[in-house]
Structure 1
Amino acid sequence: MKGHLSHDYLIEVPAAVVWDVYRGIELPKLAAQLLRDVLGSVEVVHGDGGVGTIIKLTYPPGGPSPGYMKEMYTKIDDEQRLKEAEIIEGGFIDVGFDLYRHRLQIIEKDVQSSIIRSSVDYEIDDKLQELASQATMKPFQVLNEGIGKYLKQKWDSSNN
């Protein structure tokens, strides 16, 4: 069984500014700093933020996902402002998903605003299809809102 979920978040910050944060390892580090009670801790296991970088996220009790997960950046496209990562250990893989890939794309709406498009593609054995309901956009909604507020405040204060 295959599935796809997506969510768009409008932010009144230029796409280039948003992409600078979302592109590399600054995003998970900033997310852990701003949203520690929801997202827990972040550790760069391997890499410098480019393709092949592995990040370990350890969630707090009651967080959006049980335990921990490791994800690997599989695609970074500066022209399309697109970043893809796959969970390679823990999280959704441990509960039975064969594939759990997420994408973050920063789309320029106009000169002063952009859309953060988050999506998840997953594959799971048909025998485990009841687990498909665990696939969620909630962590990305929380992430985009938290990072979005931070970037908006930072952008407003540097342009006033």
Structure 2
Amino acid sequence: MYHKEEERCGVTEKQKKKFKKMQGKLSHEWEVRVPASIVWETYGTLELGKVVAQLLPNLIEKVELVEGDGGVGTVLALTLPEGTPGFNFYKEKFTKIDHENRVKETEVVEGGYLLFGFTLYRVRLEIIEKDNGTSIIRSSVEYEIGEGSAADPSIVSTKALEVMAQVVGRNLEEKNASVGNA
């Protein structure tokens, strides 16, 4: 498929050699009125995929556990809704889960941005305690494009992660408020 994309875009082998290896990082932060420990209960586990598929079916249609138990090495298959620009399927692998510092990293291992010439597409999710009742969801995307690739870094965005943080954060705020009022 990638070679067909190159042909369709009119990029020749000679032109590809002119492109250098490229790296980049984008970040977004969202504050939620929920303690970091409660946010991490969702973000640090397999629960995040279930919640996102339930609350944002227009973003993620389906999340399937391919292997693992939610720890490092876990692989998920994510299906995006039909009509999603770019690609509609990818697999990601959990490469880091740090419960003490509330950090989770995943890397695309099949499909997704790899189809467009990216050699690395990593998502880093950090839950930062701001005070006892407030925390920050920091979502970052790191990427690398291989030397000679015609991949376009402008297609990388944190928009899906922003929407996810907002919707999951609001859901957790509502749940936390109802527990507090019970």
Match of residue 99 from structure 1: 120
**Structure 1 contact 39–63 (Cα < 8 Å) conserved:** no
- Secondary structure of the residue aligned to 2:71 is coil
Q: What residue identity is the alignment partner of 2:140?
A: S
Q: How does 1:122-141 map to 2 (within 5 A)?
A: 122-128=143-149, 131-141=152-162
Q: Distance in 2 between matches of 1:149 and 1:75?
A: 26
TM-score (norm 2): 0.84
Tell me the TM-score normalised to structure 1 length.
0.95
Task: Between 121-130 and 137-146, report the one with greater CA deviation.
Answer: 121-130
C-alpha distance in structure 1 between counterparts of 2:69 and 2:139, whole Å: 22
CA contact (8 A) 1:38 1:64 kept: no
TM-aligned CA deviation for residue 130 of structure 1: 5.4
Alignment partner of 1:82 is 2:128: no
Residue pair 1:64, 1:139 contacting (<8 A) in 2 also: no
Structure 2: runs of 5+ lacking an equivalent: 1-21
Q: Which amino acid aligns with 2:53?
A: A
Please list every run of 5 or more consecutive structure 1 residues that lacks an aligned counterpart in the other structure: none
Give the Cα–Cα distance (whole angstroms) in 1 for the partners of residues 150 and 169 of structure 2: 33
SS at match of 1:116: strand
Rg larger in structure: 2
Q: Which has the higher strand share?
A: 1
Counterparts of 1:118 and 1:19 in 2: how far apart (Å)? 13
Q: CA deviation at 1:96?
A: 0.9
Does residue 120 of the first structure (1) align with residue 155 of the second (2)? no
Q: Which runs of 4+ in 1 moved over 2 A?
A: 61-65, 125-130
**What is the distance in 2 between the residues matched to 1:114 and 1:33?**
23
Residue correspondences, number: 160
Match of 1:24 in 2: 45
| Structure 1 position 5 matched with structure 2 position 26 | yes
Question: What is the RMSD of the two structures over their aligned residues, measured on CA atoms?
Answer: 1.3
Q: Residue type matched to 1:22 in 2? A: Y
2:72 to 30, 44, 51: 51
Per-residue deviation, 1:127 = 3.8
Distance in 1 between residues matched to 2:44 and 2:146, nearest whole Å: 32
CA contact (8 A) 2:36 2:127 kept: yes
Whole-Å separation in 1 of the counterparts to 2:156 and 2:66: 25
- Summarize the Cα distance change of 1:151–1:99 in structure 2 as closer, same or farther, 3 Å threshold: same
